[in-house]
Structure 1
Amino acid sequence: MRVKVTIRCKRCGEKFILRGKREKGKIETGFKQCLCDNREEFMIEEQHG
């Protein structure tokens, strides 16, 4: 199932809006790291509607 997600970096505040796949309760977008080289600290929110 395709879903739209918002990923916000907790370090610099950069925001990314991506589409991903929901499989087995997890969302996979292929997103790896922020522009500030952060690879771990993110807020991920699924968009509804």
Structure 2
Amino acid sequence: MSIRHKVTIRCNRCNEKFILRGRKDRGRVDTEFKRCVCSNTDDFEIEEEALI
């Protein structure tokens, strides 16, 4: 069973903020987030929080 996580992603280029849910698998949380609305694909600040 995998633990659900709340993931907050903030774009460092345009400051857009996304709050997503995902599951931790193989040491990584998968949210299927690909890119920001400004087309940024790799410059993000990411915070994870386990949901109980």
Of 1, 24, 43, the match for 2:26: 24
Structure 2 spans left out of the alignment, 5+ residues = none
Shift >6 Å, 4+ stretches: none
State how many pairs are aligned.
49
Rg larger in structure? 2
TM-score, length basis structure 2: 0.85
Q: Does the CA-based 8 Å contact 2:10-2:46 persist in structure 1?
A: yes
TM-score, length basis structure 1: 0.89
